[in-house]
Amino acid sequence: MENSLPLPWPLVSAVKEPLCLHQLSNQELVVRCQHGFSPDRAAFAELMRRHQAHIDRLLYHLAPDWQDRSDLAQEVWIRVYRYVKRLKEPEKFRSWAGRIATNLFYDELRRRRRGWPPLSLDAPIQTKDGELDWELAAQSPGPDETLVTCEFYEHLRRAIAELPEAFRTTIVLREIEGMAYEEIAETLGISVGTVKSRIARARRRLQSQLNAYL
């Protein structure tokens, strides 16, 4: 009879229990996707779960009236899956995926060969992805204040839609997505100085149009 010692229960549990992907960092998930012949499907699914809302919001603000945004979002993730092995800095996955989404948007915009579609004033502030960053503060304004605030955001969305394409993209990434200047520069493939210049000029244009509400 072979003499052997049973493994301690905690160790047995650690051996049998699968790795919890939600406990891994984005960088660790990307590294797992970069190993092997094809990306780890479970790790990629976790990355997609974490960042899908970000990509959807980005496309929503870039193309609010496009009815086929979901198709564009799907193509973003197809490209992310296809090229994730080429990402040299896994810790920058979010901005890298955002750059893919932005580039795909511009490619589609050029293919359509038309100007920027007017921003719908009927577009809901509440989306399936959650609240937009321009939601009202958590207080209870009176009816008059609510009316003025709604009018302000309607004018704001219209003013953003009327900005030149380069200004609109940078102001959306900065003020709505909350991205750092360096992230925006990396996403758009431009210098940080150019990003700051575009944002400053976009802010001046918006302020001039919304001065009555500020």
- In the chain, domain spans: 20-117, 118-214
**High-pLDDT (> 70) share of the chain, %:** 71
Give yes or no on whether 20-117 and 118-214 have one common fold. Answer: no
The model carries a pTM of 0.61
CATH fold label, 118-214:
Arc Repressor Mutant, subunit A (1.10.10)
End-to-end CA distance of the chain: 86
Contacts of 158-164 with CB under 8 Å at 24 or more apart are 158/119, 158/121, 159/205, 159/206, 159/209, 159/210, 160/119, 160/206, 161/64, 161/116, 161/118, 161/119, 163/202, 163/205, 163/206
Question: pLDDT tens across 6-59, in order?
Answer: 434 343 333 333 468 888 998 999 999 998 888 999 999 999 999 999 999 888
Q: What is the pLDDT of residues 119-166, one digit of tens each?
A: 443 444 344 444 444 333 344 444 444 444 567 667 777 788 788 888
What is the token pair recorded at 9?
A: 């229960």
Q: What is the pLDDT of residue 57?
A: 86
- State the CATH architecture for 20-117: Orthogonal Bundle (1.10)
Instruction: Give 66-107 pLDDT, tens digit per residue.
Output: 888 899 999 999 999 999 999 999 999 998 998 899 888 888
